[in-house]
Chains A and B, each alone.
Chain A
Amino acid sequence: MKIKFTLNQEVIEHEVAPNKTLVNMLREDFDLTGAKEGCGGGECGSCTILFNGKPVTSCLMLGVQADGQEITTIEGLSQGNELDELQKTFISTGALQCGYCTPGMILTAKGLLSENPDPTREEIKTALSGNLCRCTGYKRIIEAVEQAAKHYR
């Protein structure tokens, strides 16, 4: 199936089998391995990418659903070597440990802040509840999002 979509701000034409998931298409066909398959059931959020700016679990989507849409992966968040503010605050607050949930977590936060630039703590917690982390206990992740929100404002 031929599809045409925007991937990290670049227009791409691509051929993909209909039964390939979006996460596998990104990982295998484009070597964008930042999105991870942690559970294959849309529960852990480590496959999260931005789909027209909104966080989605790419393990439960088909590659063909990207046709005509805008996809942003973690690799597309930094401009060259310049890190996005969220990436900076994740490092400065210590909001990551093993790093496996981190790309998905950052993209969900990015999606939240683009819709809600001044979220409350509760709103941040709810937005991130679809991203499981076993290492950090979430506290610094929430702080990182709050700090990035301040900066964006």
Chain B
Amino acid sequence: MKSFEYFKVKTVAEAIDRLKENPDGSHILNGGTDLVLRMRENHLHPDRIIDIRGIEELKEIRFSKEEGLFVGACVPLGEMAHHKSVVEHYSLLADAAELVGSGQIRNVATMAGNLCNASPLADTATPALVLKAVMIVEGSNGEKEIPVNEFFKGVRRTALEKTDVVKGVRIPYEEGLQGSFQKASRRKDVDLSTVCASGVKIGDEYRFALGAVAPTPLRLPKVESFLKGKEINEDTIKQALDLIDDEISPIDDVRSTKEFRVHLAKTLVQRCLEQMA
């Protein structure tokens, strides 16, 4: 690993100041499980690292029906996955968080970090999309909110400015919501998703999102609008799944061919529907 300047900051404002001093050459250190790996492999050589793990306000996780769920940027995935309110009201998010990496990784990695990496297969991304999560961000012009469906711009690219700091993720509370998270991988534990899917049913409305089938995790608007208000039976399921072909653009890689990803995408959406039935 090349050497770098290291700053451990106590406030978000301090973090932004540090970022402003070298916007192109700076990188935020949160859990570090992705950053340190990429630095070790020489994919990244930041001039400076800004460690935000000392910022107390980012460690908060709280829930109320009025605000919904707020997960501070520094809350580890393991803690989030077992939090009473997450398990009770956002079980698909708990399921997804529990499947990121290993227990060791989950003790350090965070949902904010998982989303900011913007990997197409990020396991917490599809739940965030179907739950209509919002990124709470502090920028050089003050606080702003970025809905998660406007957050992912491309492979490992987000809507964040170079001097932005994500403070947390807020997920609204919706009464009567049912959800499902499905992950297809080569190995049962500790594996990257070959494809992952999230589904939410609320009233007669459906929301679906898929990961690892496009440059970013994405919603399935055609499938959603087709299923709205319809009875779920063998026929409607088949028609809904057929629409998936047009909504995704998977690739071949060392983990899978694109044809198999299409197959898995349909299988997982079907399983979401079955779990929510």
* Chain A positions near chain B (C-beta within 8 angstroms): 1, 17-19, 21, 40-43, 45, 48, 51, 54-57, 59-62, 64-65, 67-68, 108, 111-112, 125-127, 129-131
Contacts and interface: CB of A to CB of B under 8 A. Distances in A.
Contacts of B32: 60-62, 65
A105 B121 CA distance: 28
B236 interface: no
Contact of B107 (A43, A45, A56, A65): A56
Contact of A64 (B51, B108, B188): B51
B103 A42 contact: no
Q: Which of A19, A54, A60 has the most CB of B within 10 A?
A: A60
Contact of A61 (B36, B49, B103, B189): B36
Contacts of B36: 21, 60-62
Contacts of B78: 54
A127 B105 CA distance: 11
B109 to A, nearest CB: 9
A42 B107 contact: no
Contact of B190 (A1, A48, A129): A129
Contacts of A21: 1, 36, 40
Contacts of B53: 65
Contacts of B188: 129
A62 B46 CA distance: 14
21 contacts: A1-B6, A17-B3, A18-B49, A21-B36, A42-B37, A45-B102, A51-B108, A56-B104, A57-B105, A57-B108, A59-B40, A60-B36, A60-B40, A60-B108, A62-B6, A62-B29, A62-B36, A64-B51, A65-B53, A108-B104, A130-B104
A129 B41 CA distance: 24
- Which 8 A-B pairs have CB atoms at the shortest separation, nearest pair first? A130-B102, A129-B189, A18-B6, A54-B107, A19-B1, A57-B104, A19-B3, A60-B36
Contacts of A56: 104, 107-108
Contacts of A60: 32-33, 36-37, 40, 105, 108
A43 B104 CA distance: 10
Contacts of A54: 78, 107
Given A19-B39, A65-B51, A126-B103, 13 more contacts: A19-B4, A21-B1, A41-B40, A43-B190, A56-B107, A57-B33, A60-B33, A60-B37, A62-B29, A62-B36, A68-B54, A111-B107, A129-B103
B258 interface: no
Q: Which of A21, A57, A111 has the most CB of B within 10 A?
A: A57
A42 B6 contact: no
Nearest to A128: B103
Contacts of B54: 68
Given A42-B37, A67-B8, A129 B102 contact: yes
Contact of A42 (B3, B105, B189): B105
A150 to B, nearest CB: 21
A138 to B, nearest CB: 11
Interface in B1-43: 1-6, 8, 29, 32-33, 36-37, 39-40
B101 interface: yes
Nearest to A132: B190
Nearest to A40: B40
A111 B76 CA distance: 15
A57 B5 CA distance: 23
B193 to A, nearest CB: 15
Interface in B184-211: 188-190
Interface string B84-118: 00000000000000000111110110000000000
Contacts of B6: 1, 18, 62, 64
Contacts of B1: 19, 21
